[in-house]
Amino acid sequence: MAPEKIEPGKEPARVSAGALKAYIGRAFTAVGIPPGDATVLADLITEADLRGSDTHGVFRMPQYCKRIKAGGVNPRPALRVIEERPSTALVDGDNGMGHLAMKLAAETAIAKARQTGIGWVGARMSNHAGPAALYAMMPLAHDMIGLISRSAATITCRPGAGSSRCSAPTRSRSRCRPWTSRRW
């Protein structure tokens, strides 16, 4: 389907955040994601668009849904913390949507930092998680700062990259980044 042409001087159609969340939730439910997880994904993906990360928001829906339908992503992952110490943990994403694994990693890091002053949590066996800033900002609501880094499979490229197989290290630049949350 060709993109809709916008006539000069005419505004493109606008969609409310609520309508976008509802659409994303329905789309994920239609490909087998449980309703609760679909709601979490809809919230995070809509937040990505609202924050200006257009290349990591609803723009990625066709790619996500195709990978789920093709069996490349587990629609019903059993996310779990597989290793744990007082200040550290490792989350296994069970090949599910990366957004879900990263949210659990950020929440776990926050809980550990609340208890010990620092939380360092890694995540493995997941998929693309959208913009790192989504998770980097989560500890801010708890008066914490942190760090995030990642390595990823070569499944996502910025538009115009010239290759379908590219990946680059990501560093999020906000006061707080997930995987490590530190309470000051």
Q: Quote the pLDDT of residue 12.
A: 76
Per-residue pLDDT of 134-157, as tens digits, reads 998 999 999 998 677 766 554 444
DSSP for 137-178? SGGGGGTEEEE------TT---TT-S-SS--------SS--S
Strand partners, 89: 84, 121
Helix, strand or coil for residue 50?
Answer: helix
Domains and CATH numbers, the chain: 17-69 (1.10.1530.10), 80-183 (3.30.1370.60)
d(CA 127, CA 79): 12
Residues 6+ apart with CB under 8 A from 69: 31
Q: Quote the pLDDT of residue 11.
A: 82
CA distances from 16 to 20, 42, 51 (A): 6, 13, 14
| Strand positions, DSSP E, 36-87 | 80-84
Q: Quote the pLDDT of residue 151.
A: 65
Q: Quote the pLDDT of residue 102.
A: 95
Residues lower than pLDDT 50 in the chain: 154-158, 163-184
DSSP state of 121: E
Position of tokens 């390595």? 151
Q: Quote the pLDDT of residue 35.
A: 98
Q: Quote the pLDDT of residue 89.
A: 96
Handedness of CA 116, 80, 137, 133 (dihedral sign): positive
| Strand positions, DSSP E, the chain | 80-84, 88-96, 118-126, 144-147, 180-183
